[in-house]
């Protein structure tokens, strides 16, 4: 059986719905092919996630902390680190980086949809998003990430927890020590009776896109995933 991540399905949804000028077919194909370019945004986000997960960062003096992830070092100020640890401590019973998946059927082929929940407890999923400009609520409420995660993990409520590094400039690369750190109110998304149909429609459209364009070569298998 083929597999696809929820993250990739969201990239497809944004392309399908013409969400923005940045959501091109080229970007979708690069994601499906696993082509990744060095990305400071992703590195900062990964390191912030790691501090939430472990509750630790290395203090290097003058109110500056460092966190390494996949060979990349991110420098953060004390406010960002304190907020990450405070956030972690708010949910002491949460599991971190929980993997889950579910098989879906389409008229073209079956596919396994999977993903990692940042935090999971009771019937709740929380997802951390690090931002570098003012976020827009609609970008999250229209996302299929929360609908698939609630289905995959059989949960009822999903929260997007947004944190902005205000004043970030591209020339800062992975040094965000001079930015202001802004935590936002969580965006709550609740599972409804329509969520399952919504997910199924996206699966059907994605599988049709793969089949019509003969892009099976870009898909990996479920069996490979669970052999790792």
Render pLDDT for 45-86 as a digit per residue (tens, 0 to 9).
Answer: 999 999 999 999 999 999 999 999 888 999 999 999 999 999
37 — pLDDT class (breaks 50, 70, 90): confident
- The three-state secondary structure class of 191 is coil
Spatial contact of 98 and 117, defined as CB atoms under 8 Å apart: yes
pLDDT at 213 over 80: yes
Which CATH architecture best describes the domain 2-35+94-226? Alpha-Beta Complex (3.90)
% residues pLDDT > 70 (the chain): 100
Mean pLDDT, residues 162-172: 96
The rounded distance, in Å, linking the Cα atoms of 223 and 221 is 5
pLDDT at 227: 78
pLDDT, tens digit (0-9, with 9 covering 90-100), for 119-137: 999 999 999 999 999 999 9
pLDDT at 70: 85
pTM of the model: 0.94
The Cβ of residue 11 has, within 10 Å, a number of other Cβ atoms equal to 19
pLDDT at 228 over 80: no
pLDDT at 226: 85
5 — pLDDT class (breaks 50, 70, 90): very high
End-to-end CA distance of the chain: 16
Q: Is the dihedral of CA 130, 124, 154, 194 positive or negative?
A: negative
The rounded distance, in Å, linking the Cα atoms of 47 and 66 is 9
The rounded distance, in Å, linking the Cα atoms of 177 and 167 is 10
pLDDT at 38 over 90: no
pLDDT, tens digit (0-9, with 9 covering 90-100), for 82-119: 999 999 999 999 999 999 999 999 999 999 999 999 99
Strands (E), 79-211: 95-104, 111-121, 124-131, 157-166, 180-183, 187-190
36 — pLDDT class (breaks 50, 70, 90): confident
What is the chain's mean pLDDT, rounded?
96
């Amino acid at each position: 059986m083929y597999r696809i991540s929820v993250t990739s399905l969201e990239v497809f949804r944004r392309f399908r719905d013409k969400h923005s000028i940045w959501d091109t077919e080229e970007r979708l194909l690069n994601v499906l092919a696993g082509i990744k370019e060095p990305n400071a945004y992703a590195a900062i986000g990964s390191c912030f996630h790691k501090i939430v997960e472990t509750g630790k960062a290395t203090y290097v003096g003058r109110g500056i902390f460092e966190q390494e992830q996949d060979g990349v070092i991110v420098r953060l100020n004390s406010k960002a680190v304190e907020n990450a640890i405070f956030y972690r401590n708010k949910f002491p019973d949460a599991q971190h980086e929980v993997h889950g998946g579910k098989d879906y059927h389409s008229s073209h082929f079956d596919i396994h949809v999977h993903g990692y929940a940042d935090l999971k407890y009771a019937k709740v999923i929380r997802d951390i998003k690090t931002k570098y400009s003012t976020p827009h609520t609609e970008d999250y409420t229209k996302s299929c990430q929360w609908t698939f995660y609630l289905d995959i993990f059989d949960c009822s409520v999903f929260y997007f927890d947004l944190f902005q590094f205000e004043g970030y400039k591209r020339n800062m690369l992975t040094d965000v020590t001079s930015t202001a750190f802004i935590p936002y109110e969580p965006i709550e998304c609740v599972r409804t009776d329509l969520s399952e149909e919504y997910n199924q429609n996206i699966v059907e459209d994605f599988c049709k896109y793969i089949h019509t364009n003969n892009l099976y070569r870009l898909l990996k298998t479920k069996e490979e995933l669970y052999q790792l």
